Amino acid sequence: MATAIEFNHVGKQYRLGLVSTGTISHDLNRWWQTAILRKEDPYLKIGSVNDRTQKADSDYVWALRDIDFKVEQGDVVGIIGKNGAGKSTLLKLLSKVTGPTVGTIRARGRIASLLEVGTGFHPEMTGRENIFMNGAIMGMTKQEIAGKLDEIVAFSGCEKYIDTPVKRYSSGMTVRLGFAVAAHLDPEILVVDEVLAVGDAEFQKKAIGKMQDVSRGEGRTVLFVSHNMTSVKSLCKHGIILKDGMLLDSGDIDPIVTRYLRGDNDIDNYKVYNEPLKGKNGFELLEIGVRPKGGQFTDVMRVTDDLEVVIRYRLTQPHEKFWITMHMKNEQGERMFSTGGGGRCYDTRHEAGEYEQICHLPKDFFNWGGYAFDFMAFSQPSNIECLMSEQDFISFTLANRAVAIGGWMGKEPGDITPKFDYTEKKLS
């Protein structure tokens, strides 16, 4: 099968807060070294890694570095990673919104991109006029666009407003029309960023279905960025994980999503810090993990075990109101429920010192499988303030019962399987 997209050791470097190198002397030096002396760009040798949580140690930062992968024609690839990992930058490079600092990108065929709300739309032009303008930019004739017009308008659901200037559209309407244009104007490659999150549930389902049709039925290539792991797993065959601007892993979508949710911990369900993980206003995280009640973090956990989430932290200053919240997620990355140290923990003044908080999770509540949770710490001096926020911070796996009930070894549907009390009596 032919290669549709190829990234060859691609990197993108920016100077923080500035355009170009930021000074005439640096620009002249870059021109002299590269254009006249034919040497390597001197500013490619410097630059900090794109880790948004760390203070920059250089004026330059690599938004992407040494990205190298191929996408086959007709493949659907999910690009996943935390905020700031470089996902949108990668798509902008592919869509030629900006160019790479180093490396080469090859793409076969026309590319239709939906990178953010209103991409490629002129606000003063009507929806109809924008459809024709976008088609012309893609190299289509007026007759070709007109042949697709009714289908585009019907899919977008914006018939009533198609002759209204786009500046009067809501963000949801703009996304609807933008996706309809990108998906229907016969692109060989469709590039979609997280913009679908703006649309309602009905449109998201409709859009996912259209992308499946485009890839499977028409053999077109799709690159899809999303934080919704359910959408990624339902749509994509393969996946790419970006971290701090670098390619962490690639492969089939199921193990890629599992690795992303799991993280790179030696023990997925436990983290301990020699140097505390520091948040705002004197909050320091020392240790966090999930284990069987009274057991060790290395023990196997089963659905029949009582579990405990152990959190050890330090406050270097007092807090009148302080609490911790966790968002529990299933294997698809969907939030199942939230739980937090409200009540006693919230109402109690916390003096400076070291604390241990334990959240007790009852047995026979979770189904067997993999789970993860987001971690947040809050205080409320006057307004609520977030002291720390970590996504997909801890993951853990629950094994099935040692002996299945009635010999049944399959997995019951759902993420939780609580055991309720039943009563029964013979009526006749």
CATH number at residue 276: 2.70.50.60
DSSP string, 197-235: GGS-HHHHHHHHHHHHIIIIIT--EEEEE-S-HHHHHHH
Q: Quote the CA–CA distance of 375 and 339 in Å, as a whole number.
A: 10
Residues 235 and 301 in one domain: no
* Same domain, yes or no: 215 and 278: no
Tokens encoding 111: 């590319």
- Pair (224, 305) in one structural domain: no
Residues 314 and 237 in one domain: no
Give tens-digit pLDDT for 256-280.
Answer: 887 776 665 445 788 988 889 999 9
- Residue 10 belongs to some domain of the structure: no
Q: What does the pLDDT read at residue 357?
A: 92
User: Which of 68-77, 100-109, 133-142, 246-255 shows the lowest per-residue confidence on average (mean pLDDT)?
Assistant: 133-142
What gap in Å lies between CA 44 and CA 25, rounded to an integer? 16
Residues 391 and 74: their CA atoms lie apart, in Å, by 32
**Domain boundary residue, one of 194, 228, 262:** 262
Residue 60, domain member (yes or no): no
| Chain mean position to CA 417 | 28
Confidence check: pLDDT of 283 > 90: yes
Write the DSSP symbol of residue 141: -
322 and 206 together in one domain: no
Calpha distance 35→30 (Å, rounded)? 8
Mean pLDDT rounded to a whole number for the chain: 82
Last residue of a domain, one of 262, 291, 319: 262
> How does residue 21 score in pLDDT terms, banded at 50, 70 and 90?
very low
In a domain? residue 133? yes
Over 70: is that where the pLDDT of 172 sits?
A: yes
Boundaries of domain holding 105? 67-262
Give the residue from 254, 216, 269 showing the smallest Cα distance to 394: 269
CA quadruple 31, 33, 37, 41: dihedral, nearest 10:
-110
Identify the sign of the CA torsion 287, 246, 253, 225: positive
- 257 in the same domain as 353: no
CB 82 within 8 A of CB 225: no
User: Residues 258, 348: one domain?
Assistant: no
423: in domain:
no
Same domain, 212 and 123: yes
What is the domain count for the chain? Answer: 2
Specify whether 72 is located in the same domain as 197.
Answer: yes
How would residue 53 be classed by pLDDT, with cut points 50, 70 and 90?
very low
Q: What is the pLDDT of residue 56?
A: 47
Q: Residue 126: pLDDT band by 50, 70, 90 thresholds?
A: very high
Q: Which residue has the tokens 């590039």?
A: 191
